[in-house]
Amino acid sequence: RAGDGLPTAALLDFQMAHARARDAVHGRVDFARLQAALAPVACVRVHSAAADRPTYLRRPDLGRRLGEGEGDRLPEGPFDLAIVVADGLSSVAVETHAAELVASLLARLAGFAVGPVVLAAQGRVAIGDEIGARMQARLALVLIGERRDSARNCVSNIHAHGLLPEAAADKIAWLIREALRRQLTGIGLKEAAPTDRLEPAPARPLLEHDS
């Protein structure tokens, strides 16, 4: 350490964290591998209007909608729930936790009409709106490493040192049931939720859920 500079260990930790964050943002989800991990759950693969990762990062609007003709791949409902897995801004989070979370969640949703899981490449949170509408779903759930707006509910910090997938599935299942029952999402639903179910985990966010 020299003068007011950071200690070497702290500087190296910061540089490592920055490198990991950069890799997560620029990385791509291996959707073929993810689909295999989700088996035997039925999946449909689609792509956003962002043709590649650089375009996705420069043009957030293109990641919020399906590419031309991609909607034709989606099944017609009606469904109670459409589950979308998109790469968002953290491919690492999606590849590490999405399959386990989906499996845990489906086990908690017996009696619900859930459509095939949609794997959306280069997708952002709002792509769930178009997918949900095309599938005639009452609710869309998007698993994604990206922030959402106040009209959507979020469960974050899903990782080994924060909120475990099993606990996250409990929270998400509660939100799904209450959203459908109350016809309400976003801030209003969060304020109505039991506080013990929606307390944030004491760790940095990696994977987010939006409905």
Following DSSP, what letter does each residue of 87-102 receive, concatenated?
Answer: -TT-HHHHHHHHHHHH
**Is 90 exceeded by the pLDDT of residue 188?**
no
Question: How many independent structural domains does the chain possess?
Answer: 1
- Tell me what pLDDT residue 18 has: 47
Residues 133-167 as b/e (b if ≥16 CB within 10 A, e otherwise) read ebbebbbbbbbbbbebeeebbbbbbbbeebbbbee
Q: What is the CATH number of the domain that holds 66?
A: 3.40.50.11240
Phi, psi at residue 82, to the nearest 5°? -110, 125
pTM of the shown model: 0.74
Alpha-carbon distance of 116 to 75, in angstroms, equals 8
Residue 56 lies in a domain: yes
Residue 20 lies in a domain: no
Encode pLDDT of 138-178 as tens digits: 999 999 766 666 678 878 778 777 888 888 899 899 989 98
- Tell me what pLDDT residue 135 has: 98
Residue 194 lies in a domain: yes
- Tell me what pLDDT residue 83 has: 97
Residue 17 lies in a domain: no
- Tell me what pLDDT residue 62 has: 96
Residue 78, preceding peptide bond in cis (omega within 30° of 0): yes
Residue 63 lies in a domain: yes
**Is 70 exceeded by the pLDDT of residue 201?**
no
- Confidence band for 82, pLDDT divided at 50, 70 and 90: very high
Residue 1 lies in a domain: no
Q: Which residues pair with residue 143 across a beta bridge?
A: 85, 209
Residue 6 lies in a domain: no
Fill in the DSSP letter of residue 152: S
Over residues 44-67, the mean pLDDT reads: 94
Over residues 71-93, the mean pLDDT reads: 91
Q: What is the dihedral of CA 169, 171, 172, 176, to 10 degrees?
A: 130
Domain extent for 193: 28-207
Over residues 4-9, the mean pLDDT reads: 69
- Tell me what pLDDT residue 136 has: 98
Residue 2 lies in a domain: no
